[in-house]
Amino acid sequence: MILLVILIPALAGAAAFFIGSDPLRRGLLVSTALVQFALSVATWILPPAPALSGWLAEDALGRLFLTLTSLLFLASSFYAAAYLRGERVESRSDFEEGFLFSNAREASFTGCLLLFLAAMTLVTLSQQLGLLWVAVEATTLASAPLIYFHRHHRSLEATWKYLLICSVGIALALLGIFFLAVAASSPGTAAVSLVLNDLLSDAPHLNPLWLKAAFVLMLVGYGTKMGLAPFHTWLPDAHSEAPSVASALLSGALLNCAFLGILRVHQICVASGLVDFSERLLLVLGLLSMAVAAIFITGQVDYKRMLAYSSVEHMGILAVGVGLGGAGLFGSMLHVINHSLTKVMLFMVAGNLLAVYHTKTAKNVSGALQVLPVSGLLWVLGFLAITGSPPFGPFLSEFTILKAALDQGRSFVAIAYLILLAIILAGMATPVLAMAQGTPREDIIVPAGRGVALSAVPAILGAAILLMGIYVPPVLSRTIHEAARLLGQR
């Protein structure tokens, strides 16, 4: 079963490259997403047996990240099918600079989407750190063509930066894995198992010096991919130039996968008594990411870049939660879900606005509430949710992390956290509200025959975010607690 969850999207992705008919291929995309989601939900009821001698297994962390990825991909596949139907095939002029460009083949786009899903699924289920590395690098390679869907020089520049910066980061993470293997090897024996459970049970005997060096390298490597400052430089470019559905998946699903890579090595640090060291580093990088995001969100002209920096901010919040430990771990795991749901919705809405207004500059957009009532409303609600206003889900998780900081008496962390959140709230409020209100320019016309899914999918996600703020289902809460225990919460 565990193999099926990975192989189905991989095979469907390979097939999608060769299917000529557009409707058939879009059908394949949606149905694969449905089947894969059904399978990953089924793992909650029937825990799957480990495969490949324990290399692939599902623990609470994996289950959480897998189900979230599948859910987001399902939502995105409906949106993508509607989006691709609305994309014109012939070359057209660029919104910003007016030159002509065309799209990449739709078959490659769909194929890469599905391969991307397969790679992310492999990340969530890998228990062997080498395999995890292979999977994380595979996500980079599968998603790079997604960014270069609109063939013009800006998206090409973004793709190049993404490919090179992430590959270099990931190469450092591989060095980190080798260091970890050195930490685990004892004089006289050559074979080292890099399976997580073996490392965890052997943790007290790991060489602390090498383990520390391994953690730093893997934090830098996977942190590059996750978008933690100061390694985040690829992220705003890639997110602003990719088609919105790809941005949504990059931000909502891919960043989590890289975070999982860091969590795995954090687990080892916790088990071997180096928890203070890894927590301190995560805390520093987390607060730094929030600060960088606060600086660049304030006065940001481009609303897709604004969302991208908001992702840097939230990755920072996740790192702060894990860095605090204790109740912060629960908050962080809950925030993974809340942030992903909200950010995917916001990128979808941003895509709708971009399709109608033909600009990414916030001040050229006005009256979104009148032109696109559903998307306009979701834009405002999504802004409230992502900045941590009650009663939405992110409020609950951000508050849990704040409370963890206060309970531990770390008032400096708590104050810095609150101030940065406030700056970001203020920085996002002005452009977002100005975009929603006011009267629209007269030449704005909503194209006829827009797919229903373009509004319905973000609306459903919006409802989910509201629900997560009011009521966390007990079965979910239990799994999050279990995941937090894996990370050392008592």
Q: Under the rule (CB under 8 A), what is the footprint of other proteins? A: 52, 128, 130-131, 133-134, 137-138, 140-141, 144-145, 148, 151-154, 156-161, 163-164, 167-168, 171-172, 174-175, 178, 181-182, 185-188, 190-192, 194, 207, 209-210, 213, 236-237, 240-241, 296, 298-302, 305, 363
Residue 272 and residue 269: Cα distance in Å, rounded? 5
Helix locations, 126-274, DSSP H: 129-147, 153-184, 196-201, 208-226, 234-241, 244-249, 255-271
Q: Closest separation between CB of residue 265 and other proteins, Å?
A: 16
Residue nearer to other proteins on the CB measure, 297 or 404: 297
Helix (H, G, I), strand (E, B) or coil at 195: strand
Residue nearer to other proteins on the CB measure, 71 or 292: 292
Q: Closest separation between CB of residue 239 and other proteins, Å?
A: 11
Residue 105 and residue 449: Cα distance in Å, rounded? 23
Residue nearer to other proteins on the CB measure, 172 or 271: 172
Q: Closest separation between CB of residue 298 and other proteins, Å?
A: 8
Letter string b/e over residues 273-289, b meaning 16 or more CB atoms within 10 A of that residue's CB: ebeeebbebbbebbbbb
Residue nearer to other proteins on the CB measure, 45 or 190: 190
Residues near 373 by beta carbon (within 8 Å), at least 6 away in sequence: none
DSSP state at residue 100: E
Nearest to 444 by CA among 369, 378, 374, 383: 369
Residue 123 contacts residue 135 (beta carbons within 8 Å): yes
Q: Which two tokens stand for residue 224?
A: 């590059």
Q: Closest separation between CB of residue 303 and other proteins, Å?
A: 12
Residue 301 and residue 43: Cα distance in Å, rounded? 44
C-beta pairs of 180-186 under 8 Å, 24+ apart in sequence = 180/129, 180/210, 180/211, 180/214, 180/218, 180/265, 180/268, 182/207, 182/210, 182/214, 183/207, 183/208, 183/209, 183/210, 183/211, 183/214
Residue 193 and residue 191: Cα distance in Å, rounded? 7
Residue 38 and residue 99: Cα distance in Å, rounded? 44
Residue 317 contacts residue 394 (beta carbons within 8 Å): no
Q: Closest separation between CB of residue 209 and other proteins, Å?
A: 7
Q: Which two tokens stand for residue 477?
A: 């809460």
Residue nearer to other proteins on the CB measure, 284 or 301: 301
Residue nearer to other proteins on the CB measure, 237 or 398: 237
Residue nearer to other proteins on the CB measure, 64 or 174: 174
Q: What is the dihedral of CA 441, 443, 449, 452, to 10 degrees?
A: -10
**Whole-angstrom distance between the N-terminal and C-terminal Cα of the chain?**
32
Residue 368 and residue 14: Cα distance in Å, rounded? 39
Residue nearer to other proteins on the CB measure, 183 or 327: 183
Residue nearer to other proteins on the CB measure, 136 or 465: 136
Q: Closest separation between CB of residue 137 and other proteins, Å?
A: 4
Residue 137 and residue 140: Cα distance in Å, rounded? 5
Q: Closest separation between CB of residue 25 and other proteins, Å?
A: 22
Q: Closest separation between CB of residue 236 and other proteins, Å?
A: 7
Residue nearer to other proteins on the CB measure, 29 or 138: 138
Q: Closest separation between CB of residue 27 and other proteins, Å?
A: 28
Residue 141 and residue 119: Cα distance in Å, rounded? 10
Q: Closest separation between CB of residue 176 and other proteins, Å?
A: 10
* CA-to-CA separations, 260 to 135, 222, 266, 371, in angstroms, rounded: 12, 9, 9, 40
Residue nearer to other proteins on the CB measure, 108 or 370: 108
Q: Closest separation between CB of residue 306 and other proteins, Å?
A: 10
